[in-house]
Structure 1
């Protein structure tokens, strides 16, 4: 994940920054407790596509 791109992306629910999980290929919103998938290098920031995390 390009660090400059990551700096620009925010959670669509909370508008807070996202953390990159390289192992799971996800962008994580700790505030919303959601993980958004990255598919073929493209972040999918759609609430319905995210999975809930603990």
Structure 2
């Protein structure tokens, strides 16, 4: 089994995105606006249990 966690993230990434720890799926909390933030960095660590 693999566990996924966000390691470090900018405030913007934490407000708009999250990772489902069991699947690694990246989910959106709120609509993304490419004009405000053309990209978002979201470092994710996958750990084998």
Give TM-score scaled by structure 1 length: 0.29
Give TM-score scaled by structure 2 length: 0.31
Structure having the larger proportion of residues in helix? 1
Q: Larger Cα Rg: Structure 1 or Structure 2?
A: 2
